Amino acid sequence: MKRKICVVTGTRAEYGLLKNIMRRIDESDDLDLQLIVTGMHLVPEFGHSIDIIRDDGFKIDLEVPLVIEGNGKATMAKSIGFGIINLTLAYEVLNPDVVLILGDRFEIFAAATAAAYSGRVVAHIHGGDKLQAGYDEYSRHAITKISHIHFPATQKSAERIQKLGEEPSRIFIVGSPSIESILSIKYASKEKTFNKFQLDLQKNLVLFVLHPLSTDPEDACNEMKIALESIVELSDQVIIIYPNVDPGSKDMIKILHSYESKHLEKIKSYTNLPYEDYLHLLKYCNVLVGNSSSGIIEAPSFHIPVINIGTRQKGRERADNIIDVPFEKDQISNALIRALNDEKFIHMVQNCANPYGEGKTSGIVCSILRDIKIDSSLLVKSITYD
């Protein structure tokens, strides 16, 4: 009998990382893929990215509403509670053997909590990462403590999980699934990619992805203004990807629309993109600007400069392609000039190494999910220190 693996996905970015693993599970003779889609995938104003999942050919078992409307800090807490109730009901319907989740967002915290308190095995990808800002830092380590199988991306992340008291027998270093995605794609040429997005091959391309910091949504509007002022002033053409569904994002989108309407000759914005399209833009852009984790994890594999603004990614392991700056116009502008013109820095970026693995994640994860013994010794956890 096949072992039922229930994947829960709540955002476009995390789905892009999970896709190869989902495909490997779906093609396995020993594993049965179940798929729950929730979070911003179901929100039309953020692009209704469930359509991308359908276009990729996956059977969606259940759509589970989770996001509660609102723009304040309490909205996220309410969404978590709503999600725990609905996901618990979903697990009762599907009865999975393992719930497989990735990352640290509030949707995934709800998914892990509902599964663990329903007596189900939780397997967690990308635990043990270190950040110094936002609620994601809280939820990531909380998810680790209620998970039974750990799939960290790096040795340092594995060590942090062990320091939290997790048994070494539960920890398997698998690398980041994003590296496998990067290596598995057959890329179109730069010319075809630029034609697809109606871009000018003769101009530099800035890719811009900025999310609100979950602990400070009231700052999101001003942060978007500061970043866009620098980018519009110094860039020939810009592609902007909408922020995620966190509190503060609606205010950011209003600012984005305002700048786009004034600079139609420079700016193109997208609510979301298929992950492969995003990776094509990442491969061929001249610089990525913002605070997305893709600047830290994926961008080094393409050897492109990244201007990482603010504290959202503070503490993550990183390569030499990153320029860290605060939300100050002059510093963002100086970083853009350096990223586009400093030959010494550009040479260093072209030779940087990505610390997030070798691109073999899906095979390792599926082998462990297939072979690991599921019994009381897996479900009952014991802290490793007194």
Give residue-wise pLDDT tens across range 266-283: 999 999 898 999 999 999
Winning range, highest mean pLDDT, from 209-213, 247-251, 287-291, 356-360: 287-291
Lowest-pLDDT range of 1-5, 102-106, 128-132, 166-170: 128-132
Q: Residues near 380 by Cβ (< 8 Å), separated by ≥ 6?
A: none
> In this predicted structure, what is the pLDDT of residue 277?
96
Q: What percent of the chain has pLDDT over 90?
A: 83
Does residue 136 surpass a pLDDT of 80? no
Q: Is residue 264's pLDDT more than 80?
A: yes
Alpha-carbon separation of residue 75 from 66, 85, 247, 248 (angstroms): 11, 16, 7, 11
Range with the lowest mean pLDDT among 56-60, 98-102, 295-299, 382-386? 382-386
Rg for the chain, CA atoms, rounded: 20
Q: How far apart are CA 36 and CA 364, in angstroms?
A: 22
Whether 73 has a pLDDT exceeding 80, the answer reads no
Over residues 9-55, the pLDDT tens digits come to 999 889 999 999 999 999 999 999 999 999 989 988 877 889 999 99
Q: Report DSSP letters for 307-320, one per residue.
A: EEESSTTTT----T
> Looking at residue 46, what is its pLDDT?
76
89-103, 124-138, 175-189, 206-220, range with the lowest pLDDT: 124-138
* pLDDT at 214 > cutoff 90: no
Angle between helices 73-94 and 106-116 (to 10 degrees): 40
Residues 215-241 have a mean pLDDT of 92
Which DSSP category does 48 fall into?
-
Distance of CA 41 to the CA centre of its chain: 13
Range name among 15-19, 96-100, 128-132, 364-368 with the lowest pLDDT average:
128-132
Query: What is the rounded average pLDDT of the residues 72-100?
Result: 95
Type and span of the H or E element at 8:
strand 3-9
Token digits for 30?
């020993």
Contact (CB, 8 A) for 319 and 216: no
What integer pLDDT is reported at residue 269 of this predicted model? 96
Region 128-142 average pLDDT = 84
Domains in the chain, ordered, with CATH?
3-175+360-379 (3.40.50.2000), 188-350 (3.40.50.2000)
178 in the Ramachandran plot: left (φ > 0), alpha (ψ -120 to 50) or beta? alpha
- Residue 215 is predicted with a pLDDT of 76
Distances (CA, A) of 43 to 50, 308, 340: 9, 27, 36
40 secondary structure, DSSP code:
G
What pLDDT, on a 0 to 100 scale, did the predictor assign at position 306?
A: 98
- The mean of the pLDDT values for the chain is 94
pLDDT in tens, 306-357: 999 999 998 899 999 999 999 999 999 999 999 999 999 999 999 999 999 8
Instruction: Return the percentage of the chain with pLDDT > 70, whole number.
Output: 99
* Residue indicated by tokens 């400070």: 216
Res. 72: pLDDT tops 80: no
pLDDT, position 266: 94
Q: What is the pTM of this model?
A: 0.88
In whole angstroms, give the CA distance from residue 7 to residue 130: 24
pLDDT band for position 137 (cuts 50, 70, 90): confident
Please name the residue that has the structure tokens 């139609």: 264
> What is the model's pLDDT at position 76?
87
